[in-house]
Amino acid sequence: MSKISLQSIEKSFGETPVLKQVSLDIEEGEFVTLVGPSGCGKSTLLRILSGLEQADAGRVSIGGMNVTDVRPAERNLAMVFQSYALYPHLSVADNMMTPLRMRDLPMWGRLPMIGPLLARDTYRVMQGQVREVAETLKITPLLDRKPGQLSGGQRQRVALGRAMVRQPVAFLMDEPLSNLDAALRVHMRAELSELHRRLKTTFVYVTHDQAEALTMSDRMAVMMHGNILQVGPPDEIYANPNCLEVARFIGSPAINTFAAEIQSDGHLALIGTTLSLVQPLTRAPVTVGIRPEHLFLSPTGRFQGHVRYRENLGSDVFLHLDVEGAQQPVVLRANPAQAAQVTLRNRVCFDLEPDKVLLFQSTGERLPCALATREVA
């Protein structure tokens, strides 16, 4: 049982509160992603979990045991850093062996030169473990090299290897892919997911990249300015964000938002058109959110816009439309065949899928809403 639980964690640096009463439970074997914009406190939360940073208030427990005041090494967690943080003067094999040496050898066994002679058996076991992990990660040929002689991707693997040898309760990763080039990053996503499936260990993964969070996690926690706004499986968070900030942050291109108003007769006034609402019916200013893939071109569409820009991704084309009454360009996903018929600066008609419309209060909270699927005139 190694359920990890963070309870009401608070942390300030000087006067600035960085974490405000953050709580999160992580089940054993789960791949949990902390995602949020830069500076929202993800790294700080992870460092508090690892023990590298001390929380001002709150409790960290691992497997039911309170570890709030336990040293990092004794929490048996392993961390992978964005900069890899390999020891530059040690070979790859020695880098990977360091956590084992610190854990399994007594003081005298760690002495240079004579240590390996005195504790020969332990060394042999450790070398076996290192070799095994190196096999898994396919870095055996690199074992004798120094980190300076490795490429970014290789260093990344070595850093993973150093985390894996000690078979920790959980892996903590702080933006481990940010320093890789785009192609390698996508490849490593798949590989990390695969590794997680094989090891069945808990992964806590920090990233500012919502795509990474969506592709890899079992559950993701969206953080903003020191709070966790929503926790849930990626699909759930994408389709059902509980507030406007989450909806805006998750998804690329970002969700379209419009200022709108629920009128006293229960109609929704939206960029020059009124839509019938089934619920709610109380009069209020609201924000309407709708994702690009829930808008579609249609000759009989109720909305009109001028094509300002075509963003061609090959499989999809995103059309950026200037729509009268909307503050920002509206982004709409079209398939390439449809998009081919559209010329720049021309007028197009489009419509929305009513059951996919998200409604938010002016404070940003989500409103349960149902739009009539059929307009009755």
Partner 1 sequence: MSEAIQDIRATAFRFSTRAALTHIVLTLGALIVLLPFYTMISLSLKAPHEIMQQTGGFMGAQELFRDDFCVKLGNAVQDCMVNPIIYNYTTAFEKAPLLRYLLNGIVVTVSIFVIQVIVALPCAYALAKLRFWGREAVFALVLFCLLIPVHAIALPLYIMLAKLGLTNTYAALVIPWTISVFGIFLMRQFFMTVPDDLIDAARMDGMSEYGIIWQVMLPTAIPALMAFGIFSIVAHWNDYFWPRIVITGNRDLFTPPLGLREFKGDADGDNFGPMMATACIIVTPLIVCFLLAQRRFIEGITLSGMK
Ligand X SMILES: Nc1ncnc2c1ncn2[C@@H]1O[C@H](COP(=O)(O)OP(=O)(O)O)[C@@H](O)[C@H]1O
Interface ranges with ligand X (CB under 6 A): 13, 18, 36, 38-44
Residue 196 near partner 1 by CB under 8 A: no
Give the span between the Cα atoms of 81 and 84, in whole angstroms: 5
Provide, rounded to whole angstroms, the least separation between the CB of residue 226 and ligand X.
Answer: 8
User: What is the per-residue binding string for partner 1 in 206-245, x denoting contact by CB under 8 A?
Assistant: ----------------------------------------
- Binding partner selected for residue 294 from Mg ion, partner 1, ligand X, none, CB under the kind-specific 5 to 8 Å limit: none
Look-up: residue for tokens 């690329």? 252
Cβ closest to ligand X, residue 180 vs residue 275: 180
296 binds partner 1 (CB under 8 A): no
| Closest to partner 1 by CB, 34 or 371 | 34
Neighbours of 377 (CB within 10 A): 4
Q: Shortest gap between Cβ of 262 and partner 1 (angstroms)? A: 50
Count of residues near Mg ion by CB under 5 A: 1
Angle at 365 between CA 363 and CA 366, to 5 degrees: 140
Cα–Cα distance, 301 to 182 (Å, whole number): 38
Among ligand X, partner 1, Mg ion, none, partner that 157 touches (CB below 5 to 8 angstroms by kind): none
Tokens of 298: 């249609």
Binding string, residues 98-127; x marks residues near partner 1 by CB under 8 A = xx--xx------------------------
Residue 43 contacts Mg ion per CB under 5 A: yes
- Partner in contact with 39, chosen from partner 1, Mg ion, ligand X, none, beta carbon below 5 to 8 Å by kind: ligand X
Residue 126 near residue 101, CB atoms below 8 Å: yes
Indicate which single residue of 73, 114, 117, 125 sits in contact with partner 1 (rule: CB under 8 A): 73
Residue 13 interaction partner, one of partner 1, Mg ion, ligand X, none, beta carbon < 5-8 Å per kind: ligand X
Q: Which of 61, 82, 122, 304 binds partner 1 (CB under 8 A)?
A: 82
For the bound state, the minimum distance from the C-beta of residue 158 to partner 1, rounded and expressed in Å, comes to 12
Query: What are the residues binding partner 1 (CB under 8 A)?
Result: 47, 50, 52, 72-74, 77-79, 81-90, 98-99, 102-103, 162
